[in-house]
Amino acid sequence: MLVALVALIVVVGLLRPNFLQPTTLFQQLSGAAFIGVLALGMVFVVSIRDIDLSVGWIFNFSAVIAAKAMVLGVDPWIAAGIGIAFGAFLGLINGVLAVWLRIPVIIITLGTFSAFRGLSLVVNESRAVVPPDKTGSFFALFDVKLFGLIPSVAVAFVVLAVILHLVLHRTRFGYRVQAMGSNPDAARLGGIPVDRTRILVLVLMGAIAGLTGAMFLGFREAIDPVTGGDYLLPVVAAVIIGGTPLSGGRGTIVGAVVGALIIQVITTGILFLGVDVKWSTFVTGAVIILAVAVDQLVRRQRERRTRDTVDLG
Amino acid sequence: MQAGALTAVTPAIAVAGLRKAYGGIQALAGVDLAVAPGSVHAVVGENGAGKSTLMKILAGAIRPDAGEVRIAGELAEMASPADARARGVGIVYQELSLFPDRSLLANLFPDRQPTRLGFVDVPAMRRRATPVLERIGLDADPDVSVGALGIGERQLVELSRLLIERPSVLILDEPNSALNERETGRLFAILRELSAAGITIIYVSHRLEEVFQIADRITVMRNGAVVSTEDRSSTSIGKVVEAMVGTSPRELFPPRRDPVESATRVLDGAPSGLVVRGLTVADELVDISFEARRGEIVGLAGLEGAGVATLLGVLFGTRRADAGEVRFPDGEGAPHSPTAAARRGISLVPADRRHQGLMLDDTIETNISQVTVGALHARRPWLDRAAMWAAARRQIAGLRIRADGPAAVVGRLSGGNQQKVVIGKWLEVGPSVFLLDDPTRGVDVGAKREIYRLIREFADGGRIVLFRSTELPEIVGLSDRILVLYRGRLAVEFEGGEIDDHGLLTAINTGHRPDAGQAHPAPPSSPEEVIP
């Protein structure tokens, strides 16, 4: 997938050399950050063969709560912390409902997709919530550029990706997540606490959505009632283009980063080329199908090699 | 109708030279069989004898590699179940193929509903269904959804569905495994009536007593071939059992523990074992009580649905008991989850290793660490890759897993080596209890012998070992004690060496000890030849 990303950048760069300026390139990274960070969390969810449809509205609702707290005079840093905790709480609701009621996460979050959106609208009264005082260190942070070049949002994206990569591949929690996706029955019969792990994954997803909300608030200094509503599809697309299969067990954080960047480069690349923006949506769709098709091909090749003698009882 | 008429009458259905292979395994190796019209013809045999394959060919569900099927004397090339139905052959499978959310009436006409002006003609469906339901004696509202009916009634719905198509040959593949005695009696009454009306019935079952109640003729299959076909009046349960089992190689099994020695060992070692008292699970287990001592291999035998799987489930924490008491050596009761079981050293090697035991796309290293990393408590959240690698190497060496190393992908190993990986992941926990559910399924003979040796070692190490197998010689050859479950009850208990394959087969099929008169002349209590 990395090859595809580099190829995309090279193609756009050959046609429009401006695109290859460092500033522009790092803009891609920060532009991909919000979808990208959400995709990092979604990698965990997809790794256990679930999918969280409500991420966009957890993101929105958490940002609204954080902004409201700022309106009420809470220190922006603490308000951001409240937003993250609130996101985690919404994730906990998803997880507990799914585990207690034995209903697939996709169904539960289909419900909470609307429920969180509705509650968010109640809280923000269908208006953008704008923190009154934007002079503090919290908001200043988002203007900082590392080495005068890399936007802080991009830095946060990369740092989070490194942390979550380590969590997925180097911790017992990450092992459990991958094992559950690899073979759910074997995981359960192997003594893995599958219910608790599933709840933890959804709490992690919620916290990450809350964190994305706080970052968005710091970056844009306001949260609209509709922002986040259309995040779900690009988030899942980034995960899948990155190579995490919906059948779980082989989650890749690095892949999700690349996937988010591919979507971003397609969008801005098309702008650079002067093509109508509408095409970017179409191309994103085509790339998803292409990515999954290639993945299937690779998988079938692997299975052909794996297949052993017929196993009759 | 007497089957003696066979030579004079054209068989209702007959096969000759039927062969079928799956992969490298010959499921049918040249089967000849002729079924007289209007008779009830039973087909019996152990698991893997080829009964189901034969029935599926007769029903058009699979095509043979070679050989022919004749229906009423005519050569029948059946490419699909619809072909078979069109020729008057209907089959009831063991797993019912009903639509539980749809009405009884809708289930009777899954396809080819009568239509009128292009719409489904419900009144016509009722008209056609009513006489069949009356004939079967199924007294249920045609509009009730099938899911609301009992299992026995559902079986009758399945039968009614076939009868609506007026078949000339009716195949029942273990139709009564889920039925209680009253329902079985009712089914038999119906079958006799159908037989009297000229319908030919092929009846596949494990339960020999019932076979002898209903069948006119009995065919025994073994290893994909017919070994005998006799009139009921000229054979006996004992003879049928003998034909089913044949002879089995005994040298595969490690020597059994001397009962005197093991008794002493129990006395001077820790006396505690696994104690089960009055264990009951609604509709599945009734008042099960037994003890399993440390160091002893307890074999669990029983037909599918007899309760062995449920018992193992309760002991491992995947099932809940409704009543009764379980006491493990650690002084605690049944675990409430597999996680709890793993943390207490209770291990389960599941029956279906590919679906329940392994992560096939992952390495040996990842699989071996599944329980230790995934289930046990740990102080640090980080994975200790060095320890995982060492564990994989330890088990590869200890269990003699043939693989390139810890990084080998488990899906590419042979069945026997895969099973050793499942065993190995549990050995890493240092379990005190081993529950093994059919541990040698789909494993070659060499690996079987190694697994038997391992199981004996587990027991010799002072562990509690309970194992179930679908292969009787295995239970007979390996167990120090055998518990036979029959319809959810602990029906018979044998000491190791007391019983042979024939006796055990009789016990699991009838629920009681073989009669003295039918005991096999050569019980295997004589010293067994052992190859270490």
Contact call for A308 and B414, based on CB within 8 A: yes
- CA distance, residue B405 to nearest chain A CA (Å): 16
Per-chain mean pLDDT for chain B: 84
Facing B409 at nearest CB: one of A186, A190, A306: A306
CB A45 within 8 A of CB A105: yes
Q: Could you tell me the pLDDT band of residue B3, with boundaries at 50, 70 and 90? A: very low
With beta carbons under 8 A apart, name residues in chain A contacting B382. 170-172
Contact call for B381 and A172, based on CB within 8 A: yes
With 80 as the cut, is the pLDDT of residue B245 above it? no
We find that the CATH architecture of domain B252-337+472-532 is 3-Layer(aba) Sandwich (3.40)
Topology at the third CATH level for domain B1-85+168-176+201-244: Rossmann fold (3.40.50)
In Å, how far are B92, B194, B405 from B413, measured between CA atoms? 37, 51, 11
**Residue B319 sits at the chain A interface (C-beta within 8 Å):** no
Q: How many CB pairs under 8 A join A and B?
A: 114
- CA distance, residue A123 to nearest chain B CA (Å): 38
Q: What is the DSSP letter of B353?
A: I
- pLDDT value of residue B247: 57
Q: With a cut of 0.90, is the ipTM above it?
A: no
CB A150 within 8 A of CB A26: yes
Contact call for B381 and A171, based on CB within 8 A: yes
- pLDDT value of residue B518: 45
- pLDDT value of residue B271: 54
- pLDDT value of residue B251: 59
* List of residues 6+ apart from B307 with CB closer than 8 A: B281, B284, B285, B286, B288, B485, B487, B488, B489
Q: What's the CATH number of domain A2-302, 3.30.2320, 1.10.3470, 1.20.1300, 3.40.50?
A: 1.10.3470
What is the gyration radius of the CA atoms in chain B, in angstroms? Answer: 26
Write a three-state SS string for B424-481: HHHHCCCCCEEEEECCCCCCCHHHHHHHHHHHHHHHHCCCEEEEECCCHHHHHHHCCE
With beta carbons under 8 A apart, name residues in chain B contacting A190. 338, 342, 357, 370-371, 374-375, 425
Which residue does chain A place closest to B354, by CA atoms? A186
- pLDDT value of residue A311: 36
Contact call for B361 and A249, based on CB within 8 A: yes
CB B350 within 8 A of CB B423: no
Dihedrals φ, ψ of B265, to 5°?
-60, -40
In Å, how far are A138, B180, B304 from B487, measured between CA atoms? 70, 9, 9
**Residue B371 sits at the chain A interface (C-beta within 8 Å):** yes
With beta carbons under 8 A apart, name residues in chain B contacting A173. 381
Query: Where do the structural domains in chain A lie, given as residue ranges?
Result: 2-302
In whole angstroms, what is the distance from residue A26 CA to residue B493 CA?
75
In whole angstroms, what is the distance from residue B216 CA to residue B238 CA?
17
With 90 as the cut, is the pLDDT of residue B155 above it? no
**Residue B343 sits at the chain A interface (C-beta within 8 Å):** yes
Q: Could you tell me the pLDDT band of residue B445, with boundaries at 50, 70 and 90? A: low
Q: Could you tell me the pLDDT band of residue B154, with boundaries at 50, 70 and 90? A: confident
- pLDDT value of residue B76: 85
With 60 as the cut, is the pLDDT of residue B453 above it? yes
Facing B374 at nearest CB: one of A175, A249, A312: A175
With beta carbons under 8 A apart, name residues in chain B contacting A302. 361
CB A35 within 8 A of CB A267: no
Span B507-515, mean pLDDT? 83
In whole angstroms, what is the distance from residue B523 CA to residue B476 CA?
11
Residues 35-74 of B with CB under 8 A from A: 47-48
Residues 189-218 of B with CB under 8 A from A: none
- Looking at per-residue pLDDT, the higher value among B65 and B502 belongs to B65
Facing A189 at nearest CB: one of B27, B338, B412: B338
- pLDDT value of residue B178: 64
- pLDDT value of residue A182: 92
- Closest to B374 (Cα-Cα) out of B364, B366, B385: B366
The number of beta carbons lying within 10 Å of the beta carbon of residue A67 is 28
* List of residues 6+ apart from A292 with CB closer than 8 A: A240
- pLDDT value of residue B530: 35
With 50 as the cut, is the pLDDT of residue B522 above it? no
**pLDDT digit string, tens, across residues B250-293:** 556 777 766 555 554 544 445 578 999 999 998 899 999 999 98
Contact residues of A toward B, CB < 8 A: 169-176, 179, 182-183, 185-193, 249-250, 302, 305-306, 308-313
Q: What is the DSSP letter of B117?
A: T
Which residue does chain A place closest to B316, by CA atoms? A189
Span B225-252, mean pLDDT? 78
With 60 as the cut, is the pLDDT of residue B1 above it? no
Structure tokens at B270: 């820790």
Poorest-pLDDT segment among B180-194, B226-240, B273-287: B180-194
**pLDDT digit string, tens, across residues B74-109:** 888 888 888 888 888 988 877 667 888 888 888 888
Which residue does chain A place closest to B48, by CA atoms? A313
- Looking at per-residue pLDDT, the higher value among B47 and A215 belongs to A215
Tens-binned pLDDT, residue by residue, of chain A (313 aa): 788 888 888 888 888 888 888 888 888 899 999 999 999 999 999 999 999 999 999 999 999 999 999 999 999 999 999 999 999 999 999 999 999 999 999 999 999 999 999 999 999 999 999 999 888 899 988 888 888 888 999 999 999 999 999 999 999 999 999 999 999 999 999 999 999 999 999 999 999 999 999 999 999 999 999 999 999 999 999 998 888 888 888 899 999 999 999 989 988 888 888 888 788 778 878 877 887 787 678 767 766 655 443 333 3
The alpha carbon torsion through A177, A183, A185, A191 (nearest 10 deg) reads -40
Contact call for A189 and B318, based on CB within 8 A: yes
With beta carbons under 8 A apart, name residues in chain A contacting B48. 312-313
Query: Where do the structural domains in chain B lie, given as residue ranges?
Result: 1-85+168-176+201-244, 89-166, 252-337+472-532
In whole angstroms, what is the distance from residue B486 CA to residue B306 CA?
5
- CA distance, residue A304 to nearest chain B CA (Å): 10
Burial A209-247 (b: 16+ CB within 10 A, else e): bbbbbbbbbbbeeebbbebbeebbebbbbbbbbbbbbee
Residues 422-451 of B with CB under 8 A from A: 425, 441-442
CB A261 within 8 A of CB A36: yes
Contact call for A186 and B409, based on CB within 8 A: no
- pLDDT value of residue B525: 37
Q: Could you tell me the pLDDT band of residue B347, with boundaries at 50, 70 and 90? A: very high
- pLDDT value of residue B4: 45
Q: What angle do CA B511, B512, B514 make, to 5 degrees?
A: 125
3-state secondary structure of B88: coil
In whole angstroms, what is the distance from residue B479 CA to residue B463 CA?
14
Poorest-pLDDT segment among B193-197, B225-229, B447-451, B479-483: B447-451
Question: Checking phi first, is residue B116 left (phi over 0); if not, alpha (psi -120 to 50) or beta?
Answer: beta
- CA distance, residue A176 to nearest chain B CA (Å): 5
* List of residues 6+ apart from B296 with CB closer than 8 A: B257, B262, B273, B459, B464, B465, B480, B481
Q: Could you tell me the pLDDT band of residue B207, with boundaries at 50, 70 and 90? A: confident
**Residue B373 sits at the chain A interface (C-beta within 8 Å):** yes
In whole angstroms, what is the distance from residue B156 CA to residue B45 CA?
25
Helix axis angle, A152-170 to A22-31, nearest 10°: 60
